[in-house]
Amino acid sequence: IAGLFLLALPFPLIVLGAGAVGILIARQRPDLLALKPGKAGAVLPARPWRTTILAVLVWGAIWAAPMALIAATLGESHVLWQVGAFFSQLAIVTFGGAYAVLAYMAQEAVQGFGWLQPGEMADGLGLAETTPGPLILVTQFVGYLAAFRAPEPFTPLVAGLLGAGLTTWVTFAPCFLWIFALAPWIDRLGQAVWLKGGLAAVTAAVVGVIANLTVWFALHVLFARVGAVEAGPLRLSWPELASFDWRAGVLAALAFALAFGAKWGVLRLLAVCAAGGLALVLVG
């Protein structure tokens, strides 16, 4: 959380750095990560290089097909190329589920590319949470708005639909590549202590990543204006206290009490908070 929130380090760097540290610790002191050594004398299957290479070639081509078409017809300066390249990168480092990458996506979409405003990003997450599969809906939301706002040579609606479709394609096509390329190696990887160490460290880092996401959305939902204070390499997001939205504060406190105090389920919690938000808007 310090690397993301205070230093604004890229999410891929956090993941790769944590994995590297975990691998080093696993090689030197696996007991620090509570890792068990592989079974002595275990017979490992042959290395399935042929199957893996074929899977990478086939699914890599499927993954890259729309990007090649965009490069040939619209060029690499078009927003669709930017959308496809960014979400392709996101797909490579999607460790820890949707909430682990949402902060990175929000940071780049809002501050990096300027496709959305912070409030719109929060609206997208709220929209996604009303249905299963939040990562799919949030990525489509971001891709749609990015292309919708720079539609040439298409109409805004067509560009938005293309952006949403491209985002879905390049985000989830790699999933099949990883599955078919790595599945034949599962028995061998299960005996690799260094790999277990890397994954254990990434899992620990993901907890901090999700905490950073909580802080980022809390700031931009509870306060209308959020600035930044910089001191050397440190960059601290700091809200204008006068812009505090008391309605959002009431709903956040209500949700916290119902989730952690009353132990309500997600569906009932969302329904009550949605009704409360509508009531506050009507009376305010």
Name the pTM for this structure: 0.74
| 224-276 confidence digits (pLDDT tens) | 888 877 777 777 788 899 999 999 999 999 999 999 999 998 889 888 998 99
Listed as own residue / partner, the contacts of 170-173 with beta carbons closer than 8 Å and 24 or more positions apart are 170/63, 170/66, 170/67, 170/84, 170/87, 170/88, 170/91, 171/87, 171/88, 171/90, 171/91, 171/94, 171/135, 171/136, 171/139, 172/91, 172/136, 173/59, 173/62, 173/63, 173/91
| 113-160 confidence digits (pLDDT tens) | 999 988 888 888 877 777 766 677 888 999 999 999 999 999 999 999
